Amino acid sequence: MPKKPRKPDEKFKVWGNVFDEFTNKTIFKLISGGYFDGLESPISIGKESNLFSALGKQGRVMVKIYRLETCDFNRMYDYLKDDPRYSDLKGKKRKVIFTWVQREYRNLMKARSADVRVPAPLAFKNNVLVLEFIGQEENAPKLKDQWPRELKKFFDEIVESMGRLYHAGLVHADLSAFNILNFNEHPVFIDFSQTTPLDDPNAERFLNRDVKNLCAFFGKAGLKTDAEKTLEKIKNKKF
């Protein structure tokens, strides 16, 4: 007899102010659809979302849940309003959040098609996104928490991934040591909801900001970096 899908465990319902009734129903629908079989443990709290590990058919997955009541709606809308893929969102808070989740799914799919290391997006519904688990026994650490052994090699891999993303028509737009995992000494980019197409009028500004953030971070560790040369490499290298 097949297992009856489980609703979120009681111990998680108040964790991180995320499990309102609507979200519980959304999670239950994803469980019923076979994408995972109940939440396992919390991983992190982000600016707009909470991340959990969960048990899936092929092993662990990650479940990213955007908080409906405490999301920064205005910040989300500022990123979405100039994205030509989306329109008619002004003043529609819940629709903005659902679009934000769909946007992250689509951006991850496009990044993977460009051979950028990112978690595989597995499913989304409403304010919940299901992702490939990045890690082994434990989730992979963020770059800010675990420096790579070979700084230059790791930095060069980040720049190459940024170039692949750029030539696929996207800019991450929030890239930092908080949004890069160090998985087996290779960078994995995460958090793609704010990722912006190149025809967005803010794309160049976002790209410059990403490059400056990374050069500053690696510069503090003693690696000699040059933001202008890095930017040129991202734009001009062929993939």
**Cβ-proximal residues to 12 (8 Å cutoff; 6+ apart), any chain:** 19, 39, 42, 52
Angle (nearest 5°) at CA 122 between 10 and 167: 135
Q: Is 33 helix (H, G, I), strand (E, B) or coil?
A: coil
Query: CA 77 to CA 79: how far, in whole Å?
Result: 5
For 16, half-sphere exposure in the C-beta direction (CA atoms, 13 angstrom radius) is: 22
- Can you read off the two tokens belonging to residue 63? 């479940």
Helix orientation angle between 73-80 and 93-113, rounded to the nearest 10 degrees:
50
Catalytic: which of 9, 82, 156, 174?
A: 174
**Cβ-proximal residues to 32 (8 Å cutoff; 6+ apart), any chain:** 5
CB 151 within 8 A of CB 183: no
What long-range pairs does 8-12 form, CB within 8 A, spacing at least 24? 8/38, 8/39, 9/38, 9/39, 12/39, 12/42, 12/52
Catalytic: which of 83, 191, 200, 210?
A: 191
Active-site residue, 191 included: yes
Distances (CA, A) of 126 to 1, 168, 231: 30, 26, 36
Active-site residue, 156 included: no
CB 62 within 8 A of CB 43: yes
Catalytic residues: 174, 191
